[in-house]
Structure 1
Amino acid sequence: MRNPYPFRLLALASASALLLTACGGDDDPLPVAEETRAQDSRTAFAPAEPTATTFAAMANGTAETDGTSRWAGVLNGAAYRVEVPANWNGKLVMYAHGYAGTGNALGVSNPSIRRHLLMNGYAWAASSYSKNYYDVRVGVEDTNALALEFTKIATANSRPLTAPTKLYIIGHSMGGHIAGAAVEDETFATARNKVRYNGAVPMCGVMGDTELFDYLGAAQITAQALAGKAQTPIAEWATIKDQVTAALFTTFPSVPTATGLKYRSVMQNLTGGPRPMFDIGFAGAYTGVVWGTFGGDGTVNGIFNKPAVDTNRFVYKIDGDTAGSDALNAAALKLTAAPDFNRLRTDGLRWVPKVNGEFKVPVVTLHTLGDMYVPFSMQQIYRTRTQAKGNGNWLVQRAIRGVAHCDFTVQEQAEAFDAMVTWETTGTPPAGDDVMTAATVAAPTYGCNFTRNTTGIDDSAAIVDARGKLSVGAPCTQ
């Protein structure tokens, strides 16, 4: 039968060729048009404060923080906040928040370094994104759209402003993934809302993009295998959860059994290798958060249509137990992702945008050493990818002696942001940490260079408590 749409197919082929050329993705399948997935049918998302036009000034304010222009609204279904100090320096910082769960209410988060930004003349803006779930694609697009709308929003609020002279992006957790992806060449080539950022600070970020899901899968299948439940399908986790937990922990997660000590060793090597703070982090609440991710169908709650988890690359290691390691590797299930689960698309970004290491602007990252949810190994993956692309000179990484996910002090974050801006301004890279040399990472003082346990008025009570304990229980003794 004669094709009734020859020109449409020709246009699609041309677009595919353009994407492959722009992204350098000669190892990728050809881009495809959007098919429907569960995330696309979720249409009940709505801003938590749909009529807001402003928001509160900072507590414990000063003249610099009280006298700001503060605008709120809704853009393309996403709520937003914009704040501009009276003495604006002409630079705009976009803030990307972390994973907000699977509810329908869309909320905006202020940057934790808000006071620091305003005191130094920076404007900032943040989007709620127009959807929840792990939708990094929407996070990038909505953050970029807000950046492009900045001057229009200012004019509509009777404070006309010139276009920003510099655009920076910072973010936490999933927002760190968004910040890292936002400066990638592939993102600029394929995004609908195109923004060239001058620098980025991804914090506790998912810098290995979909490799995070591989790690979480490996965490489940090794727990099952060590507990004698190796062949139970991962989707049946609920039927064996209590048995596995009892086999590995006397008290979950703080007191492991003898078998649980083997699991702790496996997890240490999955999350970045021997290093300070790991034992404290493993015994903490975020091991429970990891446990809570087990049992999924591999589609990341409908972000993908096909299984995204692949554990074939892992070689599990129980330190000091070669026979036990061999037995574990032989017994553990092998999870294989569909080869095209996150392929290039003709209609915008991938469903989960890649962090390929293809960027040429200053990027400074922060990551806590004891993070079990988004582990320190994400930084090692990011370094490996960036070096492979020849862009390692654009990446500086800093290890922080925290034991939970994103538990940075404000000072640590402000110093990282200032370091990135100074680098972007002067061309001189700041100091960072070696995240790849095992002996360096394992040293008792690793992470001391950029850890700042002194807290201030913008640090949460949880951070104040945690850092007070760590400064006594795990001090730096350089």
Structure 2
Amino acid sequence: MAAQGRPHDPVPDDQPLPGYTINNPPLAPLVVDGRQARVLQGTTGHAAYIIEVPARWNGQLVMWAHGFVGESRVLSPEPPAFGLRQKLVSQGFAWASSSYYANDYDVKAGVLSTRHLADRFARLVGKPKKRFIMGVSMGGHITGRSIEEYPGYYEAAMPMCGVMGDHGLFDFFLDFQVVAQDLADLPAYPVPADYQTVVVPKIQAALGLTGLTPTGPDTTNALGKQFRSIVINRSGGPRPGDAAAFANWYRFLFGLATPRLPDGTLAQEPEQVATNLRTRYVPDKPVNVNRTVQRVRPAEPGFRFTRRLTENPSISGRLSVPVLSLHNLGDLFVPFSMEQLYRDDVARHGRTRLLVQRAIRAAGHCEFSPKEAGDAWDDLVRWERYGVRPPGDDVKTRGVVADPAYGCRFTDPAARNTGTRPLYPACP
């Protein structure tokens, strides 16, 4: 069966779908203890793939789900990041990664292509004793939906910087634009063609954001301070480094708003599911935003409320296997609130015993050190193998998350001077 599930697909399985090309350059195999791993590459289910099997394979397979790659029509698989490729192979695990049969924000393609490749692995290499799945960003969305789409197929999961709050991510993007517009008294939703060149500079000037940087002086006026506080609350609440994270991300977030495509698909425009009809914004002073903000209904309510596997599907939180997640505190592309929404979903089903979450003190997106990712993987394997639930962070209790030392427990001190980490005070 083809990756899209069409019984009579006119495109051969080993070819990409129309409009796509494949880029899958040879990957040099790793050498562990003097023995070279085996790398297999090719195309299946209209998607490119890479498989690596160590010389001393332990019979277990890890599926890697890559993140969002934009509108590119080039399909490229990638190896596990953060030093995990080396760790997996050195521990005897095989890994496999699919490009997916489509790009854009197409979680459905990721879920189906990853499962298709896992099945293909059994024919190419051998049936694994166990299967794990891990992914980053949109790949976290794919990971979270995969373990629910195929209960019993994967043994455990490790989403990193993942869109675990599914539609809540696009609600956050909507909030950012309409609240900024409301406070600046510049209504512009749906956004016009000149939004980036004309409207956004006016909004930033009205809020005192022009020139704001993570390490410079606070240029915001009263309206800008209210806007920043609302964004902080909508992205996870007061927490260490929140003001610096806002200054690091606000330009990027404004840049996400583009005019609607005339015939855009859900994968091309995942914000079609976004709404703020029931959102309460805090703080409500000096402007009572809850009375004045534009309220937006989902453009495609059918896609928002369905349980079907769509390009932008829901995650229910009905866990049946251990899940260990990592998230950066100051990430505002996929904000920390994703972990809070996921925990709420899991708690509704009484499955919190199967969820461990960890906060990492950085403001980047998917900014993890090899130690942070590697320790999480080792703990997940130990949990799955021996039933020993590893420690994690409380992501929900407001006072806990706001503590100046929050996130220190699992943050790698050796990475202190890398990336955005200097924006955070040193841990005690």
Range of TM-score over shorter length:
0.7 to 0.9
Match of 2:92 in 1: 121
Deviation of the 1:247 alpha carbon: 2.0
**1:250, distance to aligned residue in structure 2 (A):** 2.6
Residue 425 of structure 1 corresponds to 385
Cα shift at 1:232: 2.5
Deviation at 1:252, TM superposition (A): 4.7
> Paired residue for 1:38?
none
- What does residue range 12-411 of structure 1 map to in structure 2 within 5 Å? 43-49=18-24, 54-58=26-30, 62-63=32-33, 67-112=36-81, 113-154=84-125, 161=126, 163-184=127-148, 187-188=149-150, 196-229=153-186, 231-236=187-192, 237-238=195-196, 239-248=198-207, 249-252=209-212, 254=214, 256-258=219-221, 259-284=223-248, 286-297=249-260, 302-303=265-266, 307-318=272-283, 322-326=284-288, 328-337=289-298, 338-342=300-304, 344=306, 349-411=309-371
What letter corresponds to residue 417 of structure 1 in structure 2?
Answer: W
2:49 and 2:96 in contact (8 A); partners too: yes
CA distance in 1, matches of 2:173, 2:75: 26
- Please tell me whether the aligned partners of residues 212 and 220 of structure 2 are also in contact (alpha carbons under 8 angstroms): no
SS, match of residue 419 in structure 2: helix
Identify if the C-alpha distance between structure 1 residues 410 and 46 changes in structure 2 by more than 3 Å, giving closer, same or farther: same
Work out the CA distance in 2 between the residues paired with 1:298 and 1:396: 39
DSSP-derived class of the 2:95 partner:
strand
- 1:241 shift after superposition: 1.6
Deviation at 1:63, TM superposition (A): 3.2
3-state secondary structure, aligned to 1:341? helix
Between the two proteins, what is the percent identity of the paired residues?
37
SS of the aligned residue for 2:61 comes to strand
Following superposition, the deviation at residue 234 of structure 1 comes to 2.6
- Could you tell me which runs of 5 or more consecutive residues in structure 1 were left unpaired when the two chains were aligned: 1-41, 155-160, 190-194, 456-462
Cα distance in structure 2, aligned partners of 1:468 and 1:311: 32
Q: 1:438 — aligned with what?
A: 398
Give the Cα separation in 2 of the matches to 1:299 and 1:475. 49
Structure whose alpha-carbon radius of gyration is higher: 1
* Matches of 1:331 and 1:445, distance apart in 2: 36
- State the AA in 2 paired with 1:218: D
Distance 1:314 1:291 in 2: 20
Match of 2:374 in 1: 414
Q: Report SS of the residue matched to 1:329.
A: helix
**Whole-angstrom distance in 1 between the partners of 2:290 and 2:315:** 29
Equivalent pair of 1:317/1:325 in contact (CA under 8 Å): no
CA contact (8 A) 2:320 2:354 kept: yes
CA distance in 2 between partners of 1:207 and 1:125 (Å): 22
**Cα distance change of structure 1 residues 214 and 296 upon mapping to structure 2, 3 Å threshold:** farther
Partner amino acid, structure 2, of 1:100:
V
TM-score by length of 1: 0.79
Cα distance change, pair 232–303 in 1 and its aligned pair in 2 (3 A): same
* Contact persistence 2:226–2:285 (CA under 8 A): no
Which residue number in structure 2 is paired with residue 17 of structure 1?
Answer: none
**SS of residue in 1 equivalent to 2:414:** coil
Q: CA deviation at 1:344?
A: 4.1
Q: 1:387 to 1:115 in 2, by over 3 A?
A: same
Structure 2 unmatched ranges of 5 or more = 1-16
Q: Which amino acid aligns with 2:252?
A: V
Which deviates more from structure 2 when the two are superposed, residues 290-299 or residues 137-146? 290-299
